[in-house]
Protein backbone atom coordinates (compact mmCIF):
# COMPACT_ATOMS: atom_id res chain seq x y z
CA UNK A 1 0.00 0.00 0.00
CA UNK A 2 1.23 3.49 -0.88
CA UNK A 3 0.06 6.61 0.95
CA UNK A 4 0.66 10.17 -0.19
CA UNK A 5 1.05 12.70 2.62
CA UNK A 6 0.77 16.46 2.23
CA UNK A 7 -0.15 19.45 4.39
CA UNK A 8 -0.53 23.23 4.37
CA UNK A 9 1.89 24.10 7.20
CA UNK A 10 4.97 23.39 5.10
CA UNK A 11 7.39 20.53 4.70
CA UNK A 12 9.15 21.12 8.03
CA UNK A 13 5.97 21.14 10.14
CA UNK A 14 5.90 19.14 13.36
CA UNK A 15 2.51 17.62 12.55
CA UNK A 16 3.76 16.34 9.20
CA UNK A 17 6.69 14.64 10.89
CA UNK A 18 4.45 12.87 13.41
CA UNK A 19 1.98 11.81 10.72
CA UNK A 20 4.67 10.34 8.53
CA UNK A 21 6.19 8.38 11.40
CA UNK A 22 2.83 6.95 12.44
CA UNK A 23 1.62 5.91 8.99
CA UNK A 24 4.98 4.38 8.06
CA UNK A 25 3.91 1.37 10.14
CA UNK A 26 1.07 0.74 7.67
CA UNK A 27 2.32 1.61 4.19
CA UNK A 28 5.03 3.02 1.97
CA UNK A 29 4.94 6.78 2.47
CA UNK A 30 5.66 9.57 0.01
CA UNK A 31 5.58 13.17 1.24
CA UNK A 32 4.91 16.07 -1.13
CA UNK A 33 4.46 19.28 0.83
CA UNK A 34 4.65 23.05 0.23
CA UNK A 35 7.94 24.85 0.72
CA UNK A 36 6.33 27.23 3.25
CA UNK A 37 3.18 27.73 5.26
CA UNK A 38 0.19 27.87 2.92
CA UNK A 39 -2.60 27.93 5.49
CA UNK A 40 -5.82 29.35 4.04
CA UNK A 41 -4.84 28.48 0.48
CA UNK A 42 -8.05 26.48 0.05
CA UNK A 43 -8.29 24.66 -3.32
CA UNK A 44 -6.14 27.06 -5.31
CA UNK A 45 -4.03 25.71 -8.17
CA UNK A 46 -0.99 27.45 -9.62
CA UNK A 47 -1.87 28.08 -13.27
CA UNK A 48 0.20 31.16 -14.10
CA UNK A 49 3.68 29.69 -13.89
CA UNK A 50 5.75 26.50 -13.60
CA UNK A 51 6.20 24.56 -10.37
CA UNK A 52 9.55 23.42 -9.00
CA UNK A 53 10.03 20.25 -6.97
CA UNK A 54 12.99 19.57 -4.69
CA UNK A 55 13.96 16.51 -2.68
CA UNK A 56 14.32 17.08 1.05
CA UNK A 57 14.99 13.36 1.39
CA UNK A 58 15.77 11.47 -1.82
CA UNK A 59 12.87 9.43 -3.14
CA UNK A 60 10.65 9.98 -0.11
CA UNK A 61 10.18 13.60 0.95
CA UNK A 62 9.55 16.18 -1.77
CA UNK A 63 9.12 19.94 -1.48
CA UNK A 64 7.09 21.99 -3.93
CA UNK A 65 6.87 25.73 -4.42
CA UNK A 66 3.10 25.66 -4.68
CA UNK A 67 -0.15 25.13 -2.80
CA UNK A 68 -1.34 21.98 -1.02
CA UNK A 69 -3.64 21.29 -3.98
CA UNK A 70 -0.68 21.65 -6.34
CA UNK A 71 1.25 19.11 -4.27
CA UNK A 72 -1.45 16.45 -4.40
CA UNK A 73 -2.40 17.13 -8.02
CA UNK A 74 1.18 16.81 -9.21
CA UNK A 75 1.91 13.76 -7.07
CA UNK A 76 -1.12 11.85 -8.34
CA UNK A 77 -1.04 13.13 -11.93
CA UNK A 78 2.40 12.20 -13.17
CA UNK A 79 5.16 13.27 -10.80
CA UNK A 80 5.85 9.62 -9.97
CA UNK A 81 5.93 6.42 -11.98
CA UNK A 82 3.69 4.61 -9.49
CA UNK A 83 0.14 5.02 -8.17
CA UNK A 84 -0.91 6.00 -4.67
CA UNK A 85 -3.78 4.30 -2.83
CA UNK A 86 -4.75 7.07 -0.43
CA UNK A 87 -4.08 10.71 0.45
CA UNK A 88 -3.65 11.82 4.07
CA UNK A 89 -3.22 15.51 4.81
CA UNK A 90 -1.95 17.06 8.04
CA UNK A 91 -1.50 17.04 10.90
CA UNK A 92 -2.68 20.64 10.82
CA UNK A 93 -1.44 22.97 13.52
CA UNK A 94 -4.95 24.04 14.59
CA UNK A 95 -8.57 23.08 14.11
CA UNK A 96 -10.49 22.79 10.85
CA UNK A 97 -14.05 22.82 12.15
CA UNK A 98 -17.30 24.03 10.60
CA UNK A 99 -16.84 26.59 7.85
CA UNK A 100 -13.03 26.44 8.31
CA UNK A 101 -13.11 23.68 5.69
CA UNK A 102 -13.87 26.23 2.96
CA UNK A 103 -10.52 27.95 3.52
CA UNK A 104 -8.33 25.14 4.77
CA UNK A 105 -5.37 24.04 2.70
CA UNK A 106 -5.24 20.86 4.78
CA UNK A 107 -8.76 19.91 3.76
CA UNK A 108 -8.13 21.07 0.17
CA UNK A 109 -5.24 18.61 -0.19
CA UNK A 110 -7.59 15.79 0.83
CA UNK A 111 -10.33 17.06 -1.50
CA UNK A 112 -7.89 17.06 -4.42
CA UNK A 113 -7.04 13.45 -3.67
CA UNK A 114 -10.74 12.59 -3.83
CA UNK A 115 -11.13 14.57 -7.08
CA UNK A 116 -8.48 12.25 -8.48
CA UNK A 117 -10.25 9.09 -7.31
CA UNK A 118 -8.58 8.28 -4.00
CA UNK A 119 -9.93 7.99 -0.47
CA UNK A 120 -8.62 10.92 1.50
CA UNK A 121 -8.25 11.99 5.12
CA UNK A 122 -7.53 15.46 6.52
CA UNK A 123 -6.26 15.48 10.11
CA UNK A 124 -6.12 18.55 12.38
CA UNK A 125 -5.13 19.04 16.01
CA UNK A 126 -7.51 21.43 17.81
CA UNK A 127 -4.97 23.18 19.97
CA UNK A 128 -5.95 25.43 22.84
CA UNK A 129 -4.07 28.42 24.33
CA UNK A 130 -1.06 27.15 26.28
CA UNK A 131 -1.77 23.66 24.97
CA UNK A 132 0.55 20.69 25.21
CA UNK A 133 0.52 20.21 21.43
CA UNK A 134 -0.38 16.52 21.48
CA UNK A 135 0.72 15.75 17.93
CA UNK A 136 1.67 12.20 18.92
CA UNK A 137 -1.92 11.53 20.00
CA UNK A 138 -3.29 13.00 16.75
CA UNK A 139 -0.86 10.83 14.79
CA UNK A 140 -2.11 7.73 16.59
CA UNK A 141 -5.70 8.75 15.78
CA UNK A 142 -4.72 9.12 12.12
CA UNK A 143 -3.10 5.70 12.14
CA UNK A 144 -6.21 4.06 13.60
CA UNK A 145 -8.51 5.71 11.04
CA UNK A 146 -6.30 4.78 8.09
CA UNK A 147 -5.99 1.24 9.44
CA UNK A 148 -9.79 1.04 9.63
CA UNK A 149 -10.11 2.35 6.06
CA UNK A 150 -7.79 -0.43 4.92
CA UNK A 151 -9.56 -3.08 6.98
CA UNK A 152 -13.09 -2.01 6.01
CA UNK A 153 -12.84 0.09 2.83
CA UNK A 154 -15.97 2.11 2.00
CA UNK A 155 -18.01 1.32 -1.09
CA UNK A 156 -16.98 4.66 -2.57
CA UNK A 157 -13.92 6.78 -1.91
CA UNK A 158 -14.49 9.19 0.98
CA UNK A 159 -13.15 12.48 2.24
CA UNK A 160 -12.92 12.34 6.02
CA UNK A 161 -12.28 15.57 7.92
CA UNK A 162 -10.77 14.49 11.23
CA UNK A 163 -10.30 16.87 14.15
CA UNK A 164 -8.54 15.69 17.29
CA UNK A 165 -8.86 17.30 20.74
CA UNK A 166 -5.53 18.45 22.16
CA UNK A 167 -5.31 15.71 24.78
CA UNK A 168 -3.00 12.79 25.50
CA UNK A 169 -4.24 9.74 23.63
CA UNK A 170 -5.43 7.94 26.78
CA UNK A 171 -7.65 10.92 27.64
CA UNK A 172 -9.49 11.01 24.31
CA UNK A 173 -13.00 9.64 24.91
CA UNK A 174 -13.56 8.05 21.52
CA UNK A 175 -14.65 8.77 17.95
CA UNK A 176 -17.81 10.54 16.79
CA UNK A 177 -19.30 10.84 13.30
CA UNK A 178 -20.28 14.50 13.04
CA UNK A 179 -21.67 17.16 10.76
CA UNK A 180 -20.02 20.52 10.19
CA UNK A 181 -21.03 23.23 12.63
CA UNK A 182 -21.03 26.92 11.85
CA UNK A 183 -19.22 29.97 13.20
CA UNK A 184 -20.39 33.47 13.86
CA UNK A 185 -19.19 36.14 11.46
CA UNK A 186 -15.43 36.62 11.71
CA UNK A 187 -13.92 39.42 13.75
CA UNK A 188 -13.31 42.77 11.98
CA UNK A 189 -10.11 43.39 10.04
CA UNK A 190 -7.21 44.66 12.12
CA UNK A 191 -5.80 48.00 11.03
CA UNK A 192 -2.14 48.77 11.54
CA UNK A 193 0.75 50.68 9.94
CA UNK A 194 3.97 49.59 8.32
CA UNK A 195 7.33 51.14 9.34
CA UNK A 196 6.76 53.95 6.82
CA UNK A 197 3.43 54.87 8.36
CA UNK A 198 1.30 53.45 5.56
CA UNK A 199 -1.94 51.77 6.57
CA UNK A 200 -2.05 47.97 6.38
CA UNK A 201 -4.69 45.40 7.27
CA UNK A 202 -4.75 41.93 8.78
CA UNK A 203 -7.63 39.49 8.32
CA UNK A 204 -9.49 39.28 11.63
CA UNK A 205 -9.71 36.11 13.74
CA UNK A 206 -12.33 33.48 12.97
CA UNK A 207 -15.70 33.95 14.63
CA UNK A 208 -16.81 32.11 17.75
CA UNK A 209 -18.89 28.95 17.53
CA UNK A 210 -22.54 29.55 16.59
CA UNK A 211 -24.06 26.25 15.47
CA UNK A 212 -22.18 24.02 17.90
CA UNK A 213 -24.86 21.74 19.32
CA UNK A 214 -24.85 18.00 19.75
CA UNK A 215 -23.93 16.20 16.56
CA UNK A 216 -21.58 18.92 15.31
CA UNK A 217 -17.82 18.72 15.03
CA UNK A 218 -17.53 21.59 17.52
CA UNK A 219 -19.53 19.69 20.13
CA UNK A 220 -17.47 16.51 19.75
CA UNK A 221 -14.19 18.36 20.27
CA UNK A 222 -15.50 20.33 23.25
CA UNK A 223 -16.43 17.03 24.89
CA UNK A 224 -13.12 15.28 24.30
CA UNK A 225 -14.04 13.14 21.28
CA UNK A 226 -12.37 12.87 17.88
CA UNK A 227 -14.66 14.44 15.27
CA UNK A 228 -14.90 12.58 11.94
CA UNK A 229 -16.94 14.40 9.30
CA UNK A 230 -17.52 12.86 5.85
CA UNK A 231 -17.35 15.60 3.22
CA UNK A 232 -18.78 15.69 -0.30
CA UNK A 233 -17.55 17.48 -3.38
CA UNK A 234 -20.99 18.23 -4.84
CA UNK A 235 -21.98 21.67 -3.49
CA UNK A 236 -25.31 21.70 -5.31
CA UNK A 237 -28.29 22.53 -3.09
CA UNK A 238 -30.46 19.90 -4.71
CA UNK A 239 -33.62 20.68 -2.71
CA UNK A 240 -33.61 24.23 -4.11
CA UNK A 241 -33.48 23.22 -7.79
CA UNK A 242 -37.27 23.23 -8.39
CA UNK A 243 -37.71 26.62 -6.72
CA UNK A 244 -34.86 28.12 -8.73
CA UNK A 245 -36.30 26.72 -11.96
CA UNK A 246 -39.69 28.24 -11.11
CA UNK A 247 -37.96 31.58 -10.49
CA UNK A 248 -36.15 31.28 -13.83
CA UNK A 249 -39.33 30.40 -15.73
CA UNK A 250 -40.22 34.11 -15.67
CA UNK A 251 -37.14 34.74 -17.79
CA UNK A 252 -38.00 31.93 -20.19
CA UNK A 253 -41.25 33.61 -21.14
Residue-wise pLDDT for 51-87, tens only, equals 999 999 888 999 999 999 999 999 999 899 999 999 9
Q: Measured between alpha carbons, how far is residue 45 from residues 48, 106, 226 in Å?
A: 9, 14, 30
* 180 three-state secondary structure: coil
Chain mean pLDDT for the chain: 93
Residue 128 has pLDDT above 80, yes or no: no
In percent, the amount of the chain with pLDDT more than 70 equals 100
SS3 content of the chain, % helix, strand, coil (to 5): 30, 25, 40
Structural domain spans, the chain: 2-252
Residue 242 has pLDDT above 90, yes or no: yes
* 98 three-state secondary structure: helix
Tens digit of pLDDT for each residue in 16-37? 999 999 999 999 999 999 999 9
Tell which wins on pLDDT, 206 or 245.
245
| Per-residue model confidence (pLDDT) at position 204 | 84
| Half-sphere exposure at residue 171, Cβ-oriented, CA atoms within 13 angstroms | 11
Would you call 198 exposed, middle or buried from its count of C-beta atoms within 10 A (0-12, 13-18, 19+)? Answer: exposed
Would you call 207 exposed, middle or buried from its count of C-beta atoms within 10 A (0-12, 13-18, 19+)? Answer: middle
Say what the pTM is: 0.91
Give the model's confidence band at 154: pLDDT under 50 very low, under 70 low, under 90 confident, else very high: confident
Strand partners, 28: 2
Tens digit of pLDDT for each residue in 164-201? 999 999 999 999 999 999 888 888 899 999 999 999 99
Which option is the CATH number for 2-252: 3.20.20.70, 3.40.50.300, 3.40.1210.10, 3.30.420.40? 3.40.1210.10
Residue 134 has pLDDT above 80, yes or no: yes
| Per-residue model confidence (pLDDT) at position 246 | 94
Amino acid sequence: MKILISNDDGYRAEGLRHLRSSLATLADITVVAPDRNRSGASNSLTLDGPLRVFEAEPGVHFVMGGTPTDCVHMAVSGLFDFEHDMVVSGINDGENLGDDVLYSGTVAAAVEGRFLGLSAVAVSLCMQPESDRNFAAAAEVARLIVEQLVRKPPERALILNVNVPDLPFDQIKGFRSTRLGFRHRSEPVIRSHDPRGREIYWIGPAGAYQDAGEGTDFHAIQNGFVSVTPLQIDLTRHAALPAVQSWLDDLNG
